[in-house]
Amino acid sequence: MRKAIVVLALVGIGVMLIYAVGEMPPMGDSGNPDKVHIAPRYLEHGEEEAGASNVITAVILNYRGYDTMGEVAVIFCALCAVVAILNREKTGLSRTSMDVSGVKASVVVRTTIRFLVPVIIFFAVYIILHGESTPGGGFQGGAIIGASIILFTLAFGLPESTRKLPLRFRIPLESFAVIAFLAAGFTGIVFGVHFLTYLMPGLSEYAAETIRHIMMMVIEIGIGFAGGIIFTSIMFAMIREDQCELQPDSP
């Protein structure tokens, strides 16, 4: 009965939405309403106005910088929520029931991952640093770093990877994205212009562009490393199990 009502409502919504699709402009036409307002300006002047030949990076860091700052705060809040619900792991003491069972990943898997993880992190750093000129940037590189550390944890177990990435190393890095954004934003206020302005007034063209380049680099590196570490911390908090935890050795 309930299922029939839900399906009926969904069919009603679907017919209305498909009817609306029939009234929309044809997909892929270069004269559509979304392409006549601000997109041409971003595409034509993005390189000299924002200093990035990848227009997506220009939009993310420069034109819609406030959006991105809020979004970085959102992923930091998500980490805070997960840690509040499930608690942090203890370095070297937290285990999963897979670690307790004593079944290890095979030698082939562990050797492959030991050689593969540095290469993946190298690729991620390349993507973060070249986000201004090629496809890529902070979020993409951060996701790849997080995925590589997750791969390492699945092969070597939780105690090994928490020893490699201890809490005292991760906690400062987790908030690095928000701090980098705020630092770059307040640089503009120091120079007497608006928050999150990239081109400082009263400087020579070369100096202004150098400062803009450094600011974008700092924000990209901040988003990249903080994003990767936040994904890692979320995964560590979710994978640890209370009943498997070791007690610290009494001295």
Partner 1 sequence: MNFNRIAHNLNYVSSVVLFLLGLYTVAIKPNLVKKIMGLNIMETSVFLFMVSIGMVGSGNAPVVTEGVKPATMVNPIPQALILTGIVVAVSTTAVALSLCIKIHEHYGTLNASEILGTGGPF
Partner 2 sequence: MDWTLNLLLLMLLLATAISVIRIKDLLAAAVVFSAYSLVMAILWTQLRAPDLALTEAAVGAGVTTVLFIITIYRTVRKED
Tell me the closest approach of the beta carbon of residue 201 to partner 2, in angstroms. Answer: 31
152, 181, 225, 231: which one binds partner 2 (CB under 8 A):
231
Q: Is the separation of the CB atoms in 232 and 150 below 8 Å?
A: yes
Site string for partner 2, 79-118 (x = CB under 8 A): ----------------------------------------
Under rule CB under 8 A, residue 154 binds partner 2:
yes
Nearer Cβ to partner 2, position 50 or 144? Answer: 144
Q: Is the separation of the CB atoms in 226 and 139 below 8 Å?
A: no
**171 vs 76: CA distance, rounded Å:** 11
Tell me the closest approach of the beta carbon of residue 86 to partner 1, in angstroms. Answer: 5
**2 vs 5: CA distance, rounded Å:** 5
φ, ψ (nearest 5 deg) of residue 201: -80, 165
Give which of 52, 32, 33, 156 is closest to 98, Cα–Cα: 156
Give which of 127, 131, 107, 138 is closest to 226, Cα–Cα: 138
- State in Å, rounded, how far the first CA of the chain is from the last one: 65
Tell me the closest approach of the beta carbon of residue 139 to partner 1, in angstroms. Answer: 5
**180 vs 177: CA distance, rounded Å:** 5
Under rule CB under 8 A, residue 147 binds partner 2:
yes
Q: Is the separation of the CB atoms in 95 and 163 below 8 Å?
A: no
**71 vs 76: CA distance, rounded Å:** 9
Counting every residue, how long is the chain?
251
CB atoms within 10 A of CB 162: 23
Residues that bind partner 1 (CB under 8 A): 2-3, 6-7, 10, 13-14, 17-19, 21-24, 26-30, 32, 34-35, 38-40, 42-44, 46-47, 53-56, 58-60, 64, 67-68, 71, 74-75, 77-79, 81-82, 85-86, 133-135, 139-140, 143, 227, 231, 234, 237-238
Tell me the closest approach of the beta carbon of residue 136 to partner 2, in angstroms. Answer: 6
- Written in H, E and C, the secondary structure of 113-127 is HHHHHHHHHHHHHHH
Question: From partner 1, partner 2, none, which one binds at residue 81 (CB under 5 to 8 Å depending on kind)?
Answer: partner 1
**174 vs 106: CA distance, rounded Å:** 32
Instruction: Report the site for partner 2 in 43-62 (rule: CB under 8 A).
Output: 54, 56
Q: Which stretch binds partner 2 (CB under 8 A): 39-47, 104-112, 196-204, 233-241?
A: 233-241
Question: From partner 1, partner 2, none, which one binds at residue 78 (CB under 5 to 8 Å depending on kind)?
Answer: partner 1
Tell me the closest approach of the beta carbon of residue 8 to partner 2, in angstroms. Answer: 18
Residues at the interface with partner 2 (CB under 8 A):
28, 54, 56, 127, 135-137, 139-140, 143-144, 146-147, 150, 154, 231, 234-235, 238-239, 241
